[in-house]
Amino acid sequence: MAPADMSTARLIRVDQSGKGDFRKIQEAIDSVPPRNNELVFIWIKPGTYSREKIVVPEDKPFITLSGSKASDTIITWNQGRDLLQSPAISVFASDFVARFLTIQNTYGTTGIAVALRVSADRAAFYGCRIISFQDTLLDDVGRHYFKNCYIEGATDFICGNAASLYEKCHLHSMSERGGAMTAQHRNTTAENTGFVFLGCKITGSGSALLGRPWGDCSRVVFGYTHMSNVVVPEGWNDWGDHTKQRTVFYGEYKCYGPGSNRAKRVAWSRSLSTDEAAKLFTKDMIGGRGWLRPAPSHFKRSSSTIV
């Protein structure tokens, strides 16, 4: 059940110095009752939070985790090799929001190391920095929105089978030899999933592919995106399975910059038509007009209300 008042949230403060309600982020999440039906705003004071793996369980919707500035509110973990067990933060609850946080996995360059796993419907991320090397962001299932986020990695660093809109995000590739930025996992054309990048920026060192197909019907599109020369001329790769060339949907629309030249793109990628772009480059693609919400304007602690 959605909260009756979408402008007021219960405020919980996390401060490692002991001046808040909790010292640990997970303790604050654990304090939210099961089947929660009010907005909960967990305000995380500046610091590096490195001694806990964060899980937002399925029965605790409508939680916001917020710092004040991503560069000084850092959630970090150091675990690798397992796609589902390594994330610094795993989100299983619907109607989740993260604001102004750095989320990183410092495991390194020797295999899978997820910083953020999103396995819930209706999740939004604003002004966050998401950093690792391989499989940085497991954009797993559900409808998601990322705005003004910085996402860094080298191999398949945005992967999964969510339906996600990335608006004005910065993708930074650390790949030296053509690692893929995306590995989208749509398996059939019946699934309304895919990654849409709108008004984004691509930078990096070395060279990088825009994407390769984890699923047979992988779908990724870029529109109005600045592509530096880190993007290899062919743009896309079939991951060694030529049959996927007939079933993937990889498109670009009015991108610019030295990496956007489509003269040498693989023949099975496409330049989107205006009609195709109009259907994809909108929040309607994720049903966002029905669930994206502004930050609360009022906060309450016990019986008092703070404006």
Note whether 153 and 255 are same-domain residues.
Answer: yes
Q: Is residue 4 part of a domain?
A: no
- The rounded Cα 120 to chain-centroid distance in angstroms is 12
In this structure, are residues 80 and 111 in contact, taking their beta carbons and an 8 Å threshold? yes
Q: Residue 297: inside a domain, yes or no?
A: no
Considering the domain architecture, whether residues 272 and 156 belong to the same structural domain is answered as yes
What percentage of the chain exceeds 90 in pLDDT?
A: 93
Which one, of 52, 65, 105, lies nearest residue 83 by Cα?
Answer: 105
pLDDT at 146: 98
pLDDT at position 302 is 55
Of 106, 121, 153, the last residue of a domain is 106
269 plus 146 within the same structural domain:
yes
pLDDT score at 164:
98
Q: 156 catalytic, yes or no?
A: yes
Is there a domain that residue 73 lies in? yes
Please report which confidence band the pLDDT of residue 1 belongs to, taking 50, 70 and 90 as the band edges.
Answer: confident
Tokens 């906060």, residue?
299
Cα-based distances in Å from 46 to 87, 153, 307: 21, 24, 22
* Total-model pTM: 0.96
The pLDDT of residue 239 is 95
Q: What is the pLDDT of residue 306?
A: 46
Q: Are residues 169 and 224 in the same domain?
A: yes
Model confidence band, residue 50 (pLDDT cutoffs 50, 70, 90): very high
Q: Residue 128 domain-assigned? A: no
User: Does 197 lie in the same domain as 259?
Assistant: yes
Confidence at 185, pLDDT banded by 50, 70, 90: very high
**Within a domain: residue 30?**
yes
Tens digit of each residue's pLDDT (9 = 90 or more) over 131-153: 999 999 999 999 999 999 999 99
- 55, 90, 106 - which closes a domain: 106
Residue 247 C-alpha from the chain's centroid: 25
The pLDDT of 10-20, averaged and rounded, is 96
pLDDT of residue 304: 43
85 CA to centre of own chain: 17
Q: Tell me if 301 is assigned to some domain.
A: no
Question: Given pLDDT bands bounded at 50, 70 and 90, which one contains residue 82?
Answer: very high
Residues 294 and 4: beta-carbon distance below 8 Å: no
Residue 307 has pLDDT above 80, yes or no: no
Q: Are residues 275 and 163 in the same domain?
A: yes
Whether 135 sits among the annotated catalytic residues: the reply is: yes
Give domain status of residue 292, yes or no.
no
177 and 270 within one domain? yes
111 is a domain residue: no
97 and 225, same domain (yes or no) = no
Q: Is the pLDDT of residue 171 over 50?
A: yes
More reliable by pLDDT, 1 or 213: 213
Q: What per-residue confidence (pLDDT) applies to 3?
A: 87
Tell me which of 95, 121, 135, 140 is the catalytic residue: 135
83 and 161 part of one domain: no
Mean pLDDT of the chain: 95
Q: Select from 86, 106, 126 the last residue of a domain.
A: 106
Looking at residue 5, what is its pLDDT?
86
pLDDT in tens, 17-46: 999 999 999 999 999 999 999 999 999 999
Total domains in the chain come to 2
Task: State the Cα–Cα distance between residues 108 and 183, nearest whole angstrom.
Answer: 19
The mean pLDDT of 87-103, rounded to a whole number, is 98
* Both structure tokens of 164: 């996600």
pLDDT confidence tier of residue 91, bands split at 50, 70 and 90: very high
Residue 151 shares a structural domain with residue 75: no
- Range(s) of the domain holding residue 57: 9-106
Domain check: are 164 and 56 in the same one?
A: no
Pick from 115, 102, 125: nearest CA to 53: 115
- Domain of 225: which CATH number? 2.160.20.10
pLDDT attached to residue 301: 84
Which residue in 95, 139, 140, 156 is the catalytic one?
Answer: 156
Number of helices (H), then strands (E), in the chain: 2, 29
Q: What is the pLDDT of residue 4?
A: 81
Look up residue 194 and give its amino acid: G
CA distances from 73 to 56, 157, 172 (A): 18, 22, 20
- pLDDT at residue 261, rounded to an integer: 97
Confidence of residue 278 (pLDDT cuts 50, 70, 90): very high
Task: Choose between 199 and 3: higher pLDDT.
Answer: 199
pLDDT at 281 over 90: yes
